[in-house]
């Protein structure tokens, strides 16, 4: 975490999740040459824990079949994500933190691969858009609004959004373990 910068300290509005090596389930959030966060699967088994590491902390993400994802920080649960069962093919859902703060994960168009986290009032905060999908290395563009930078959950949202994007868009040998 020492080499990473906090999202709040980066002036760029657009960041990129890149996969440095094909076939490795490790991703880096970058703003030009600055490393902001990493996401990695603990093993090559899809349902094993995923780690999000940033200058603001380290989180462990675990998927619990069929509709729940739990987020831990230092062995304490900090949030739960639940997919909406009413719209099973759209894979949107709600991330709720233990302090009551909620964020919505949604894609309003069935055919689109662009996803967004918005706050409980419906204000869009952070967008995830694939740039390279069919190549051997995944690249996701992350567009930040100014509002998201002020949130204490900003770094976690940036990492968890990539995790959800990969989970929602299906397993590929170059994206997932």
User: Burial, 65: exposed, middle or buried (Cβ in 10 Å; 0-12, 13-18, 19+)?
Assistant: exposed
Q: Which residue has the higher pLDDT, 151 or 67?
A: 151
Q: Which two tokens stand for residue 107?
A: 């894609």
Look at residue 18 in the predicted model and tell me its pLDDT.
92
Cα separation, 88 vs 84, in Å, equals: 7
Averaged confidence pLDDT in the chain: 84
Cα separation, 141 vs 17, in Å, equals: 6
Report pTM.
0.87
Task: Judge whether 171 and 46 are in contact, CB under 8 Å.
Answer: yes
Report the candidate in 160, 163, 158, 175 with the shortest Cα–Cα distance to residue 12.
Answer: 158
CATH number of the domain located at residue range(s) 7-168 in this protein: 2.40.160
Instruction: Enumerate the domain spans of the chain.
Output: 7-168
Q: Which two tokens stand for residue 54?
A: 């940033």
Look at residue 1 in the predicted model and tell me its pLDDT.
45
**pLDDT class of 110 with cuts at 50, 70, 90:** low
Cα separation, 158 vs 148, in Å, equals: 10
Q: Which residue has the higher pLDDT, 117 or 150?
A: 117
Look at residue 159 in the predicted model and tell me its pLDDT.
95
**pLDDT class of 3 with cuts at 50, 70, 90:** confident
Label the pairing between strands 34-41 and 102-106: unpaired
**Which own/partner pairs from 21-25 qualify as long-range (CB within 8 Å, at least 24 positions apart)?**
21/137, 22/136, 22/137, 22/174, 23/136, 23/173, 23/174, 25/175, 25/176, 25/177
Which residues fall within 8 angstroms of residue 25, CB to CB, at 6 or more apart? Answer: 40, 41, 44, 175, 176, 177
Locate tokens 């998927």: which residue?
Answer: 63
Q: Which two tokens stand for residue 80?
A: 């739960």
């Amino acid at each position: 975490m020492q080499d990473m910068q906090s999202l709040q300290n980066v002036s760029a509005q657009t960041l990129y999740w890149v996969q440095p090596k094909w076939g490795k389930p490790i991703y880096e959030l970058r703003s030009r040459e600055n490393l902001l966060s990493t996401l990695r699967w603990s093993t090559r088994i899809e349902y094993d824990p995923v780690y999000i590491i940033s200058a603001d902390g380290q989180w462990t993400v675990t998927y619990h079949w069929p509709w729940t994802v739990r987020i831990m920080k230092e062995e304490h649960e900090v949030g739960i994500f639940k997919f909406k069962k009413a719209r099973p093919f759209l894979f949107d859902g709600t991330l709720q933190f233990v302090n009551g703060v909620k964020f919505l994960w949604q894609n309003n168009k069935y055919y689109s691969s662009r996803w967004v986290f918005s706050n409980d009032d419906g204000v869009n905060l952070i967008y995830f858009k694939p740039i390279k999908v069919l190549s051997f290395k995944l690249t996701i563009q992350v567009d930040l609004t100014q509002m998201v930078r002020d949130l204490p959950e900003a770094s976690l949202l940036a990492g968890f959004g990539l995790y959800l994007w990969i989970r929602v868009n299906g397993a590929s040998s170059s994206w997932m373990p």
